[in-house]
Amino acid sequence: MSKEEELLELSKTVSSCKLCKLHTTRTQTVFGEGDPDAKIFFIGEGPGATEDKEGRPFVGKAGMLLTRILEKGLGLDRSRFYIANVAKCRPTVDLKFLKDRPPEKDEVSACSPYLIKQIEIVRPSVIVSMGNPATKFLLSTNEGISSLRGNWHEFNGIPVMPTYHPSFVLRNGTEEVKKEIWNDISLAAEKVGLKIQVQIKWKDSR
Ligand code: URA
Ligand code: SF4
């Protein structure tokens, strides 16, 4: 089976998954997408409202920022990377307001085997974990993102670069934080031999 076929088969399994309580509130699962041969694999937290509606990862506001970093900063279409989340269903606070929250421990335990399988299939050269849930899971640590980001770590022999989650950058986008996320993603790009294109114009990033 080709990588593409393996991913398709796994995505079919995920689409009917009921292993955790998040299946009760989802519109649909968000498996992830991108180049099965991607050198860089980006991992977020879980789908938000827009992703839940569209069935694709990082297509809301945070997604627009990530897309901008990849396409303007690294100069490649986002389809050249692989993009997925720790949780494949939208993590919600309650049924009534569907307010977003990070995935809980039991949800990460239930869902993460799918992510591990995706990583095994794609076999990227580098992983960029964005934010605390992805980073804590991959590195089996309780340390926060601000002390881990900017340095190389490892998951199953694959180099991992933790960085801030794009939503955090949107909410808390001090110049320092913007410089840091760009620094971290540039390090990942350099490691796989990608030439950095241009510095991003942050003002246009929303
Ligand atoms: N935030 C995430 O962590 N993942 C998405 O897919 C969208 C927003
Ligand atoms: Fe299954 Fe993951 Fe969705 Fe939970 S979040 S129901 S484990 S696909």
87-121, pLDDT tens digit by residue?
Answer: 999 998 766 666 789 999 999 999 999 999 999 99
Q: Is 87 in the pocket of ligand 2 (CB under 6 A)?
A: yes
Structure tokens at 32: 């992830």
* Residues in the chain, total: 206
Ligand 1 atom with least separation from CA of 130:
3
Number of the ligand closest to the Cα of 110 = 2
Quick one: pLDDT at residue 178? Answer: 94
* Residue in the block written with tokens 């945070």: 62
How far is the C-alpha of 85 from the C-alpha of 88, rounded, in Å? 6
Atom nearest to 83 CA in ligand 1:
6
- Residue 131 alpha carbon, nearest atom of ligand 1: 3
- At 96 the pLDDT is 62
Distance CA 206, CA 154 (A): 32
Tell me, in angstroms, the distance from the centre of ligand 1 to residue 193's CA.
Answer: 26
Whole-number Cα distances in Å, 109 to 19, 64, 90, 105, 113? 10, 28, 15, 6, 8
Residue 133 corresponds to which tokens in the numbers above? Answer: 């849930």
Tokens of 65: 């920022």
* Residue 171 Cβ contacting ligand 2 at under 6 Å: no
Q: Which residue in the block uniquely carries the two structure tokens 């960029």? A: 128
**Does the C-beta of 205 come closer than 6 Å to ligand 2?**
no
Testing ligand 1's pocket by substitution, the residue of 61, 107, 167 carrying the most ligand atoms inside 8 A of its CB is 167
Question: pLDDT under 50 in the chain at which residues?
Answer: 206
User: What pLDDT, on the 0 to 100 scale, is given for residue 92?
Assistant: 86
> Is residue 81 within 8 Å of 40, Cβ to Cβ?
yes
3-class SS of residue 55? coil
Please calculate the CA angle 25-36-49 and round it to the nearest 5 degrees.
Answer: 20
- Whole-model pTM: value is 0.95
34 lines ligand 1 (CB under 6 A): no
Percentages helix, strand, coil for the chain (3-state, rounded to 5) are: 45, 15, 40
Instruction: Give the number of the ligand closest to the Cα of residue 88.
Output: 2
pLDDT at site 173: 80
